[in-house]
Amino acid sequence: MTPYELLFSASIPFLPALYGRARRDIRRLIVESGLSRPCVLDVGGRKSPYTVGLPADVTILDMPRESELQEQLDLGLTNNTLRHLRHRSNIGAVILQDMTRSNLPSASYDGVICVEVIEHVVADDAFVRQIARVLKPGGWAYFTTPNGDYIRNAPPDYNPDHVKHFRRQELHDLLALHFDAVDVRWGIKTGKYRYLGLRTLTPRHPLSTAQAMAGNVISGWESRGLDEQPQRTAHLLAMARKRA
């Protein structure tokens, strides 16, 4: 691991709770695969923070940042992102491509990660179909998305780039069209500590940063054991598998 990866891994408890939860889930999927270093595709991953330091060869697939809305919402790949990835030891390639029309070879990845992406996609069925196509037999896919059973994409918390907030059953049914086993759970308690932790962490504002870090520690503690709690949870977390 590089010094950056060691530092980032040590900082996980002080980052938004979704970082820690997704990272633990992905690590478990990697371990359960039985492969020493699986090939993993991170769709919409940008800096791929959920795979920092994990034992995998990671390919990032994303769209370039081209619009003002992407700039406002920190979406898409930029030259700065690409420079940032030089600090990583497990990034094998970066691909600029629309996953719904991907020309990646079929059965080429052991796992696919899609963290907080599917809510941005209009052609969600084509998106999931392509993810299933590029997975090897026995491969896994990991999705997270806002919890549509509780969070509405409406003012005052409106995100103009979100196409749909899935309910648990809706996400399960979509994934089940293309995968042989699907498990969708709720996770990450919403509330003041989660929102406090979403503040930008910067040394230029040490007090605000310290408050955000403390909020994230409390948020992570609050978010334990909520897999079956649809209310006051911020995300859906889904694991899907192809038959071996």
Average pLDDT estimate for 209-213: 95
Continuous segment of H or E residues that includes residue 185: strand 181-189
What domains appear along the chain, each with residue ranges and CATH number? 3-189+225-241 (3.40.50.150)
**In Å, how far from its chain's centre is CA 80?**
20
In the chain, % of residues over pLDDT 70: 99
Number of other CB atoms surrounding residue 121 within 10 Å: 21
* 123-180: pLDDT as tens digits: 999 999 999 999 999 999 999 999 999 999 887 778 888 999 999 999 999 999 999 9
Strands 233-241 and 135-146, how do they pair?
A: antiparallel
pLDDT bin (cut points 50, 70, 90) of residue 220 is very high
pTM beyond 0.85: yes
Largest CA distance in the chain: 51
Best mean pLDDT range from 61-70, 90-99, 167-176, 194-203: 167-176
Q: Residue 67 pLDDT > 80, yes or no?
A: no
* 187-200: pLDDT as tens digits: 999 999 999 998 88
Q: How far is CA 21 from CA 17, 39, 105, 126, in A?
A: 6, 21, 30, 27
At residue 44, φ and ψ (nearest 5 deg) are 70, 25
Average pLDDT estimate for 87-108: 95
* 17-63: pLDDT as tens digits: 999 999 999 999 999 999 999 999 999 988 899 999 999 999 999 98
pLDDT computed for residue 73 by the predictor? 67
Continuous segment of H or E residues that includes residue 207: helix 206-222
Q: Which residue has the tokens 């990671």?
A: 58
Q: What does the mean pLDDT of the chain come to?
A: 93
